[in-house]
């Protein structure tokens, strides 16, 4: 008698969720016991322009009630929204699983938290710490001894170098870079192509080379 497969649901139905659906390989060892169950989104029409996704939106995040066989993958990029939804679903007893693409290179002595998503061709070096619900997009590099806070989002090709400390909910635009031992505060935003040389205050938005604060 074969055991019932777990149902994998993507939380969110935006651009990141569509990308993750495209990269999800149910034939891989990591997901051999899963079947794809669709997307959770509070916008039932969010995939109406993409009929190729089947099953599509099966229900709202607001109304979702966990089932024993369900495992959720966080597919929301915005850090504040992501953590708000994660905490809501965890309070209901939902079970999250991480998603790490097979092409990712992860060194020894790396700590990876719950619900972390790591997209194709990323590299995570030794003694890095990746906290819960962080998202690491295509081609990112997370250097040795980097600390990445809960719910952070790294857009494609971000480079975090050795001993960088990143606070909770920080967001990085594509090709942003953080130099060694720099600090980025909670919920800060680093613009695309920017280079952080020293530190970024919590909640600040920085842009440029070197990165300078532009708001608030």
Q: How far apart are CA 120 and CA 154, in angstroms?
A: 13
**Strand pairing report for 99-100 and 70-74:** unpaired
Q: Which of 122, 183, 199 is nearest to 147 (CA)?
A: 183
Other Cβ atoms less than 10 A from the Cβ of 178: the count is 29
Q: Which residues are catalytic?
A: 144
**What is the pairing mode between strands 212-215 and 141-142?**
unpaired
71 Cα distance to chain centroid? 16
Give phi and psi for 32, each to the nearest 5. Answer: -65, -25
Q: Cα–Cα distances in Å, from 201 out to 108, 136, 173?
A: 31, 22, 17
Q: Which residues of 108-119 are buried (b: 16+ CB within 10 A; e: fewer)?
A: eebebbebbbbb
HEC letters along 23-72: HCCCCCHHHCCEEEEEEECCCCCCCCCCCCCCCCEEECCCCCCCCCCEEE
């Amino acid at each position: 008698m074969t055991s019932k497969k777990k149902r994998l649901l993507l939380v969110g139905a935006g651009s990141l969720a569509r990308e993750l659906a495209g990269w999800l390989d149910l034939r891989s060892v990591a997901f051999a016991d899963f079947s794809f169950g669709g997307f959770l989104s509070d916008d039932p029409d969010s995939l109406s322009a993409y009929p190729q996704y089947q099953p599509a939106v099966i229900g709202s995040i607001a109304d979702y009630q966990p089932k024993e066989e369900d495992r959720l993958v966080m597919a929301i990029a915005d850090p504040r929204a992501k953590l708000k939804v994660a905490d809501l679903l965890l309070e209901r007893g939902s079970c999250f699983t991480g998603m790490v693409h097979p092409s990712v290179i992860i060194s020894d002595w790396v700590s990876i938290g719950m619900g972390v998503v790591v997209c194709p061709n990323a590299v995570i070096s030794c003694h890095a710490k990746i906290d819960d619900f962080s998202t690491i997009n295509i081609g990112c590099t997370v250097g040795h001894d980097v600390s990445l806070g809960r719910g952070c989002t790294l857009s494609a090709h971000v480079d975090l170098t050795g001993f960088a400390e990143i606070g909770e909910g920080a967001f990085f635009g594509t090709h942003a870079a953080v130099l060694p031992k720099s600090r980025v505060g909670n919920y800060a935003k680093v613009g695309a192509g920017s280079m952080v040389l020293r530190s970024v205050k919590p909640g600040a938005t920085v842009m440029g080379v070197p990165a300078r604060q532009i708001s608030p």
